[in-house]
Amino acid sequence: MDRTKIQKYLADFQNRKLEVLPRALHINESKKIQTVIGARRVGKTYLLFEKIIELEASGVSRKQIIYVNFEDPLLNELKYDEIKEIIDLHWSLYPEIIKKELFLFIDEPQAINKWELAVRAIYDNYKCKIFITGSSSRLLSKEIATSLRGRSVTIMLLPLSFKEFLTFKAFKADIGRLGSADIARILNYFEEYLKFGGYPEVVLEPDTNEKMRILKDYLDMVVYKDIIERYKLKNSRLINWLIKTTISSASKELSLNGLYNSLKSQGLKVSKNTLYSHFSALEDSLFVFALRKMEKSSKVEGVSVPKVYLNDIGFINLFSLENYGQRMENIAFLHLLMQKNKNPLLDVNYWKSQDGKEVDFIVSEARKAVSAIQVCYSLSENATKEREINALSAAMKYFALKSGIILTKDEEKEIVVEKKTIKIIPLWKWLLS
């Protein structure tokens, strides 16, 4: 541990100018450790900076704030029992704040083995509020569950919602009172959002080719840094194939058992356990989410064939520039997933009837269904309209719901089927409501 270099690292942050664009997700302040998980490059560090700016605006001195990024080469070689020494080094620089409350901001602690033991020691022994970000869903489970249980509150940060997208584009309008010019601009922006997704750097980049390059770089980062390096995987061909398969299956059912049988029929020797562990690594890196079918039993639900959704639809561009129905459904899923930060009891599943009718999303609260949602690019064809309405009606009847929603590209009206209301809403309007 080079104390002189770490002191310089701490001192440099004191002079760093922080500039951020605000996000809708807000980090609260409480006695518990505030943990933010999210895929790489979604803006977790800037969310920490936004909190630091807020603290300073409320009168907290920058000297009371410590920021450390454990993926920095200077820090990622530290041992877990050296982490708490950073506070002592900070105090040696600014002894006048020794008796004051500290605010410790930690980026990517999973780079340090047993990091959670050090964080717990700081939490238990120092007058310090702690904020953590990480690009691994294991921050939610393994490490926190064992050492920080009851001490931490976790929220998830995703790429920009459409509302945040408009903020990043400096679009200002009263959403409740939009004129025709405002709507035209929103529709234009929504086309861009459908094509390139919501990664902040991609949204702020004006050049289309550069947007694609950034997305390709992000995908490579997921493969090599978050998966191959973190899990020490040797079969890079398999993980690349699995990623490509997952992207092409966005918003569709994906049976890992089916994939295993397909590989086996092609003479490729891959164990079923290996395939499942590789997919689990994709989930852990928050690159993909598996949505389970709504069942009466949680146990049966947990082993159902999942539909898969990407953490950002921009990755679809690397294999196809079309698939607008897939993109819309994936966007709707991410929007619903974001709501879980506000209501931890909220859950989302898809549903299938015994005769094959399917509804994209059943939203439930404490296992009680509260909403049924279909996503369809267009209802202009009678066969499509009949299929979507019949499936939604069946779900509304099954779950005793009085109304349901069909999200479309630009259609809007309200219909009544068997005394139940179905609202047909443009996806962009639903995202902003």
| Residue 63, C-beta contacts closer than 8 angstroms, at least 6 positions apart | 14, 94, 96, 97
What's the pLDDT band for 302 if we cut at 50, 70, 90?
low
pLDDT per residue over 32-73, tens digit each?
A: 999 999 999 999 999 999 999 999 999 999 999 999 999 899
Residues 76 and 9: their CA atoms lie apart, in Å, by 13
Domain ranges of the chain: 3-156, 180-432
Fold topology of 3-156: Rossmann fold (3.40.50)
pLDDT of residue 135: 85
Host H or E run for residue 328: helix 324-338
* Element housing 414 (H / E): strand 413-417
Q: Which long-range contacts (CB under 8 A, 24 or more apart) does 21-24 make?
A: 21/46, 21/167, 21/168, 21/200, 22/50, 22/167, 23/47, 23/50, 23/157, 23/160, 23/164, 24/161, 24/163, 24/164, 24/338
Q: What is the pTM of this model?
A: 0.94
Q: What's the rounded Cα separation, in Å, for the pair 97 and 35?
A: 25
C-alpha to C-alpha distance for 316 and 247, rounded to whole angstroms: 6
pLDDT at 299 over 70: no
List the one residue out of 404, 350, 347, 400 whose CA is nearest residue 373: 404
Say how far apart CA 355 and CA 253 lie, in whole Å: 17
Residues contacting 249, CB < 8 A, separation 6+ = 308
Within 66-179, where are the H helices? 85-93, 115-125, 142-147, 162-168
**Residue type (1 letter), 50:** E
Cα 253 from chain centre: 20
pLDDT in tens, 188-238: 999 999 999 999 999 999 999 999 999 999 998 887 777 888 778 888 889
Separation CA 245–CA 239 (nearest Å): 10
Residue whose structure tokens are 């890196």: 285
